């Protein structure tokens, strides 16, 4: 049994996040970045039921994030993406959280009343005690919004195989601002591997899981192609 229990640093494993986290020791990671399914009837192509009664979905999400908080170090940060349409009821389940705006330069065109150009990100310190970082982080002044090149993620081919890849710039900003080099970044919904790629670029360790074996295989391949640090920040956004 090592730092992460039965798991190794800098790996992505296939499995249900609750099963994986329940084998991890308390306080073994330095930050949690969670981008779960949003319960919006989306077909992820992996058999996951994204159309639960919403209270049932929120109950599941609370249990998952309680486990994520358990494996996170005291005073460190957890980040939780949510859909704009469900942000308020989710926030009510996590009253300790503050809100960050993950803004996008492109949104998928769908038959909805308005196109949402941002994703709300709930975040909080474990234990309610703020951890003071020694500097402002690699990305300059901290703020409660970040702009990401979502169009690139959707159409570049690097992660277009995933149903809804997270903008790399969003995750780079969070990892660079609210963790230190050498920290362990944990993602219980690894998906296309964006968190692992950002961590590797910025000199952090990573660990994560995903329920889809296909996603895990492709995410591992994506991370393996990273060679050196090449951040994808848009200067005008920072």
Could you report the per-residue pLDDT of 61-118, keeping only the tens digit for each?
999 999 999 999 999 999 999 988 889 999 999 999 999 999 887 766 666 666 678 8
pTM of the model: 0.87
CA–CA distance from 155 to each of 3, 149, 152, 232 (Å)?
37, 11, 5, 15
SS3 206: strand
Q: Which residue has the higher pLDDT, 157 or 171?
A: 171
Instruction: Report the C-alpha dihedral over residues 158, 216, 29, 67, rounded to 10 degrees.
Output: 120
Burial of residue 190 (CB within 10 Å: 0-12, 13-18, 19+) is buried
Q: ∠ at Cα 20 (16, 26), nearest 5°?
A: 145
Residue 146 pLDDT level (bands cut at 50, 70, 90)? confident
Percent of the chain with pLDDT over 90: 57
SS3 192: coil
What is the pLDDT, as a whole number, of residue 135? 55
Domains of the chain are: 11-226 (3.40.50.150)
């Amino acid at each position: 049994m090592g730092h992460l229990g039965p798991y190794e640093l800098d790996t992505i494993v296939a499995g249900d996040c609750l099963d994986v986290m329940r084998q991890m020791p308390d306080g073994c990671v330095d930050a949690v970045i969670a981008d779960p399914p949003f319960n919006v009837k989306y077909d992820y192509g992996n058999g996951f039921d994204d159309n639960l009664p919403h209270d049932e979905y929120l109950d599941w999400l609370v249990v998952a994030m309680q486990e994520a908080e358990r494996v996170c170090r005291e005073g460190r940060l957890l980040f939780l993406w949510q859909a704009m349409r469900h942000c308020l009821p989710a926030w009510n389940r996590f009253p300790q959280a503050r809100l960050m705006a993950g803004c996008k330069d492109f949104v998928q065109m769908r038959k909805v009343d308005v196109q949402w150009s941002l994703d709300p990100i709930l975040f909080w310190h474990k234990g309610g005690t703020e951890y003071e970082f020694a500097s402002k982080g690699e990305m300059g002044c901290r703020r409660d919004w970040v702009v990401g090149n979502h169009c690139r993620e959707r159409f570049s081919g690097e992660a277009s195989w995933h149903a809804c890849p997270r903008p790399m710039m969003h995750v780079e900003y969070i990892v660079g601002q609210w963790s230190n080099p050498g920290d362990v970044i944990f993602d219980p919904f690894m998906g296309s591997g964006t968190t692992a790629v950002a961590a590797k670029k910025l000199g952090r360790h990573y660990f994560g899981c995903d329920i889809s074996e296909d996603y895990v295989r492709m995410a591992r391949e994506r991370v393996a192609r990273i060679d050196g640090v090449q951040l994808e920040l848009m200067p005008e956004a920072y």
